[in-house]
Amino acid sequence: MRKQIHIIFLVILIIVISLCYALLTNFDQDHIQRDVKVVSIDSYDEYARYTVKYQRYKFHFYSGLNEYQLGDILYINADITAYKAQTVEYGFNLKSYFLAFNVYGKLDIQDIKLIDHTYHIYQIRETLKTSVNNLASSTYLKALLFGEKIRDEQTIETYTNFDILYLFTISGLHVYVLMIILKKVLFILNVNQRFQDGMMIVMLGWISYLNLFSFAVLRLLIIYILRIINKKFEMNMQNLDMIFLTFFILTIFNTGFIFHQGFVITFLIIVCLELIHPLFSPYPNYIKKVMMSVSISVIILPFFQDISIFQILLLPMMIFIITCILYPFAMLTFIFPVIDDIYVMILNLFEKVILFISTYQISFFIPKFNIYQMFLYYGLFIYVCFSNHIKQSLKRMMILIFLMSLSQYTLNLFNIENITFLDVGQGDTTIIQTKECKVVVDAFNGTTSYLKNHGIYELDYLILTHSHEDHIKEAKSIMDSINVKQIIVSFYDDRYPAYKQNVLRLKAEDKITCGSINFNFMGPIKDYDNENNVSLVFQMYYDSKTFLFTGDIEAEAETDLINAYHHMLKSDILKVPHHGSITSSTKEFLEMVNPSYAVISLDKYNSFGFPDENVITRYQEIRCIIYRTDINGTISYHRKNRKEKWTTFL
């Protein structure tokens, strides 16, 4: 089989996609005052997210449940707030995520009025989806039949360890089963080919509609039509040509797909499997499927670094159960709700099996690849794909593993000496890395993924300054994923959860050492009524600079620190107390610390009004350079940098 596509077509594809990308990202408005149409509604427990559309632009706003309906015409006067772009290396990019759905931002409503109601194409879908609300299996039915995300926390937790939750969102795997069933039925009925093709197109079109024309189903419809055209007009297109043409058409159909990670991953999987599937043909069926499962895991490795052995080995069986049993049964339950209890029994049994297997799960993770490593990886993988036989592919795979390991080792040599203040939103996380020491101070959103993405498998210390959620939220997740040698907590704070690892309770005058770094604890000096004031306060000396970490202490604790330590508080870099609250950073405290640099960790749109303008003025008065995660994103101090020690990621 020819393993190539026309170069001219590929060049045209790249040019058109580049133009679509430029068109999609060309939006700079910050206010809207006009009529818009409600085109999508996502309901949660206590509120709903409404998507409105004007021309080709879509926006979100949040309001009460059932306040508006699909097709409503609204007059809106609102400010537009762009979604947050990526501010942490390898972190989640909320802006790109919503651009994948052509959503440009969220609206801060100043005035809103219902003007009219018109028919909307998805009203039938919405009615059908609502009809399953009272069924016990509604969570699964909405996922498998309507492409809705599973939001039930218990269900998500069941499948998290085994990492197969994505199989409950309809894809080509599910639809292929229906296509096979329909083909067999039509064959038995001796229906002519033209009618078979028409029925298949109608079925694929209907499923695409129910799933909001998701690329996962729409690609099957497009490629099916292309195969009919290719055969009828004898165009001699190979499978690879039709795969590229299908994804080209999808990109034109919805430019936002460019930003959809699932779209990119699906494209890579289908192309790579098309290239390597001849290597599997000599092997028995299940062995062939396991080999394909391993191949898919290798293909998506740059996107998902968690590798689960049982998942890879049992994935073909899981795919069979979900696509050939649970998915068709979901359709039967939708048509005949009376069998809902039977379907729930089957689902409960499946969940128990998954939970049992998960207890014996063997998994590990590898660091995230940067853009250069991704090009190297897929270049080498294509080299593997063009192997003539399985032995040659294994040899080439060993070359791939060696070169990728070498690149990661080299990269680690340059990223081992820094202090990183993560942009975690309205919370705190600081990561200290040296050759001999790795420490995390507080753990809010995104801390676990950052550690895993950067290949940090072990922590010497996890320091939790106090027990508030915005400082300890991901502590347990870190302990479950990474080897934590010692947990440090505040001596006077009894509100921490129970941790299984070795816990050390520290207070003023205590000291610990990590490699060549000494941590000198200055607080808490005593017990306080105010929970913030029992935060751990400590100094560390690094790269000839003194860093002072203060948790969420307020004025009372600051005064006690001044009285106890006086000029010993002098530090070059201050981690600003309590996110820049007016209750902290007193003038007397700042004069005693006299920092050259200050770092504030906070969310841009927090509800507390942080940082207080008076606090910012106090820092400016002592000529202190201020870094803020809400403005600068993730902030890093690099010991090895000769000139500029500070870098930001925004």
pLDDT, position 9: 65
pLDDT, position 229: 93
Is residue 48 within 8 A of residue 63, CB to CB? The reply is yes
Tell me how far apart the alpha carbons of residues 172 and 220 are, in angstroms, rounded to a whole number. 7
The CA-based angle 82-635-524, given to 5 degrees, is 115
Tell me how far apart the alpha carbons of residues 520 and 328 are, in angstroms, rounded to a whole number. 63
Return the structure tokens found at 59. Answer: 């926006």
Residue 612: C-alpha distances to residues 501, 634, 635 (Å): 38, 21, 20
Tell me how far apart the alpha carbons of residues 177 and 186 are, in angstroms, rounded to a whole number. 14
Q: Which residues contact 609 (CB under 8 A, 6 or more apart)?
A: none
Task: Give one DSSP letter per residue of 423-480, joined into a string.
Answer: --SSS--EEEE-SS-EEEE---TTHHHHHHHTT--EESEEEE-S--HHHHTTHHHHHH
Tell me how far apart the alpha carbons of residues 591 and 581 are, in angstroms, rounded to a whole number. 17
Tell me how far apart the alpha carbons of residues 497 and 490 are, in angstroms, rounded to a whole number. 13
Is residue 479 within 8 A of residue 503, CB to CB? The reply is no
pLDDT, position 17: 72
Alpha helices, H only, 482-572: 555-565
Helix, strand, or coil (residue 100): coil
Tell me how far apart the alpha carbons of residues 177 and 320 are, in angstroms, rounded to a whole number. 10
The CATH fold assigned to 27-120 is OB fold (Dihydrolipoamide Acetyltransferase, E2P) (2.40.50)
Is residue 330 within 8 A of residue 141, CB to CB? The reply is yes
Half-sphere exposure of 244 (CA within 13 A, CB side): 19
Tell me how far apart the alpha carbons of residues 397 and 385 are, in angstroms, rounded to a whole number. 10
Q: Are strands 545-549 and 573-575 parallel, antiparallel or unpaired?
A: parallel
Is residue 244 within 8 A of residue 13, CB to CB? The reply is yes
The separation between the first and the last C-alpha atoms of the chain, rounded to the nearest angstrom, is 46
Tell me how far apart the alpha carbons of residues 322 and 299 are, in angstroms, rounded to a whole number. 22
pLDDT, position 139: 93
Half-sphere exposure of 17 (CA within 13 A, CB side): 18
Handedness of CA 456, 457, 460, 461 (dihedral sign): positive
Fold agreement between 27-120 and 418-649: no
Tell me how far apart the alpha carbons of residues 88 and 80 are, in angstroms, rounded to a whole number. 23
Q: Which of 518, 516, 523, 528 is nearest to 465 (CA)?
A: 523
Is residue 556 within 8 A of residue 533, CB to CB? The reply is yes
pLDDT, position 390: 82
Name the strand (E) or helix (H) holding 238.
none
Q: Are strands 458-459 and 483-484 parallel, antiparallel or unpaired?
A: parallel
Q: Which residues contact 153 (CB under 8 A, 6 or more apart)?
A: none
Q: Which of 373, 355, 346 is nearest to 90 (CA)?
A: 373
The CA-based angle 136-139-140, given to 5 degrees, is 95
Alpha helices, H only, 516-595: 555-565, 587-593
* Spacing of C-alpha 580 from chain mean position: 28
Q: Which residues contact 222 (CB under 8 A, 6 or more apart)?
A: 246, 249, 250
pLDDT tens-digit map of 92-145:
899 989 988 989 999 999 999 999 999 999 999 999 999 999 999 999 999 999
Return the structure tokens found at 523. Answer: 């607080």
Helix, strand, or coil (residue 486): coil
Helix, strand, or coil (residue 243): helix
Domain extent listing, the chain = 27-120, 127-364, 371-408, 418-649
Single-letter amino acid, residue 639: R
| pLDDT beneath 70: ranges in the chain | 1-10, 24, 413-415
* Spacing of C-alpha 553 from chain mean position: 32
Is residue 626 within 8 A of residue 598, CB to CB? The reply is yes
Residue with tokens 């751990």: 536
What is the CATH code of the structural domain delimited by 418-649?
A: 3.60.15.10
Task: Give one DSSP letter per residue of 348-379, joined into a string.
Answer: HHHHHHHHHHHTT--EEE-PPP-HHHHHHHHH
